[in-house]
Amino acid sequence: MWIQRTPEEVAKWQKSAESEACSHGRMIGGIVWLVVAVCLAGGWFFFLSSGAGIVGEREVTGSFWLRLPIYGLVAAPFAYFVFRYERKKELAKILRRTICPKCDTPAESNTGAACKCGGSFVPSSTMKWVE
């Protein structure tokens, strides 16, 4: 059965949602940082434009292991911006979640809307499930 959360529980849920969004952003940013640094150090380049992309290889001098830390530093600011963007996007997605407490139907971005069962959707941050 769904019951209302107390204000303390809502605050705890908010912290948990922020932590989840931050973890998601770190994962995506880390993957982007790793892929970009390895590709650039390996001599690969890529351009993405309107759904199409070009990938190529260029001549490089020196050892891959010498270039990797250099390109890792070059890719770090880009990965940081990807982290921030993904964190913000994931938090917004989490905050849009709603639930109809009457029939357990999940949805997004429809707080206050009527459900097919006759109930209404409420933010998932304000409700919790208890047995």
Confidence tier at 131 by pLDDT (50, 70, 90): confident
What is the per-residue pLDDT for 51? 72
Pair of tokens at residue 62: 């020196």
Q: Running DSSP on this structure, what letter comes out for residue 62?
A: S
56, pLDDT greater than 90: no
CB 100 within 8 A of CB 115: yes
- The reported pLDDT for the residue numbered 25 is 97
Rounded-to-integer distance, Cα 13 and Cα 58, Å:
49
List the structure tokens of 4. Answer: 């209302």
pLDDT of residue 48: 75
pLDDT reported for residue 79: 96
Which sequence spans correspond to the domains of the chain?
7-95, 97-131
